[in-house]
Structure 1
Amino acid sequence: MWITSFGHSCFLADIDNTRILFDPGSFSSGFESLTGLDAILITHQHPDHVDTARLPALVAANPGAQRWADPATAAMLNADPGQPRWGDGHVGQRFEVGPLTVRTTGGRHAVIHPELPVIDNIAYLVGTEDRPGRLLHPGDSFYLPFTTVEVLAIPAAAPWMKLSESVDYLRSVEPAKAFPIHQAVLSSAGMAVHNARLSEMRKPATEFTVIEPGSTVEL
């Protein structure tokens, strides 16, 4: 599996020569030039996860890519009749992307504040029949999967979380490998602190790797 980071929550996963892009949002850059995508997956409607200004060009450059989003985002994107349709990735959905199976699960965004409404958030579990948890992108949630996870994209900083919660989530999932996402809200110094704590406090069986924006790493 090869992971290319575009910053924040956006990355390209190349698994068995199948290219899936997650969360092309406003805090990310570099995804605009991508072609040859097999799928574009969006976890939820916040602009840092779906940049509606840059999304049409990305879709036009990848006409063969499947398009899936959480129910609220799919409804928003499908409101424009001039744009290609997006699939409604409701909880329990399952679809094939090349040799891979994608399961949509979770359902709700983490609580930011009790006075703010909780929106849709889909966690994407990507794998095969014999290895269903090859990759998990939980979006803005600490969704605990129903299967063993090989690679976890772990939310490492957000207005809705404490660092201790991210550490506990990493320990609870206990993936073979993990890399941090959702860190555009941090300064460089803050990012270094968060990543150091996650690396130091992970369980021994988990390999923790930081992927710099613009870099590609094999996991």
Structure 2
Amino acid sequence: MKLTKFTHACVRLEKDNQVLVIDPGAYSETGEALAGANFVLITHEHADHVDVDAVVEALRDNPELHVHAPSGVASQLADKAGDGGGRVHAVEPGSSFDAGGFAIRSFGGQHALIHPQIPVVANIGYLVDENVFHPGDSFVVPDGIDVKTLLVPIHAPWSKVGEVVDFVISVRAPKAYPVHDGLLNELGRGLVEAHVTRIGAKYGTTYARLSPMDSVEV
């Protein structure tokens, strides 16, 4: 399976002529990410994870496209796309479904706390093919699962470096790559990644940087 990272939180997975995109947000190259996509998974409603207008346009242009998202996001997309919900599907935590040959499992339920005066929204983490885990904006650890490839939210308004490291330690995936890094400069990135690389290695995780448009086989 080919994994391509886009700016910030978006990744694109490809296998067997099927394309799955996770979190095509406003900070990402949504047009390129969504080109030819068969399925889209959205973790939560924040604009850096879902560019609503871009996803609605993709639904209108591509009659084969299906989108899976928390219920509030799914309702908004279905209404704007005039889709009636037929190709936009609400996802609850603890569910499993097939997306064109990609086996999907969902985890979590809510966004990490930013501040007590900022409402907490629904957030779904997705495990693809018992391999790639994208947690969205949370540090939810899939229970009873050996994750092979972890996508790590390296930086966010809701986290600190120690929590990032503890998340990597808790999941203990053999491979880890960054997401949610669009607000970092090189100094900040280097600091966080040094800790994740050094401490993660003690627990069996090899962390590697991916820049926007880089691809790896996972």
The TM-score normalised by the length of structure 1 is 0.90
Q: Among 104, 113, 116, which residue is 2:115 paired with? A: 113
Structure 2 partner of 1:4 = 4
SS of aligned partner of 2:182: coil
Deviations 1:108-150 (A, max 9, x none): 00000112211000011111xxxxx211110000011121100
Are the structure 2 counterparts of residues 81 and 15 from structure 1 closer, same or farther at C-alpha, using a change threshold of 3 Å? closer
Structure 1 partner of 2:51 = 51
Question: Kindly, what percent of the aligned residue pairs are identical?
Answer: 36
**Gaps spanning 5+ residues in structure 2: where?**
none
Distance 1:84 1:63 in 2: 13
Structure 1 partner of 2:136 = 139
The TM-score normalised by the length of structure 2 is 0.90
Distance 1:145 1:104 in 2: 9
Task: Report the AA paired with residue 190 of structure 1.
Answer: G
SS of aligned partner of 1:203: helix
Q: Which moved more, 1:65-74 or 1:118-127?
A: 65-74
SS of aligned partner of 2:168: helix
SS of aligned partner of 2:52: coil
Task: Report the AA paired with residue 170 of structure 2.
Answer: S
Distance 1:105 1:97 in 2: 16
How much does 1:79 deviate?
2.6
Distance 2:61 2:94 in 1: 29
Indicate the RMSD between aligned Cα atoms, in angstroms.
Answer: 1.8
How much does 1:57 deviate?
2.6
Q: Among 102, 105, 113, which residue is 1:103 paired with? A: 105
Asked if the contact 2:165/2:196 (under 8 Å) is kept, the reply is yes
Q: Among 171, 180, 196, which residue is 1:173 paired with? A: 171
Q: Among 89, 92, 103, which residue is 1:90 paired with? A: 92
How much does 1:186 deviate?
1.2
> 1:149-168 counterparts in 2 under 5 A?
149-168=147-166
> 1:44-83 counterparts in 2 under 5 A?
44-80=44-80, 82-83=82-83
SS of aligned partner of 1:107: strand
**Gaps spanning 5+ residues in structure 1: where?**
128-132
Deviations 1:166-210 (A, max 9, x none): 000001000011101001121222122222221111034212111
Asked if the contact 2:6/2:33 (under 8 Å) is kept, the reply is no
Structure 1 partner of 2:39 = 39
Task: Report the AA paired with residue 207 of structure 1.
Answer: T
How much does 1:31 deviate?
3.8
State the aligned residue count: 214
Asked if the contact 2:21/2:34 (under 8 Å) is kept, the reply is no
Distance 1:152 1:74 in 2: 25
Asked if the contact 2:70/2:90 (under 8 Å) is kept, the reply is yes
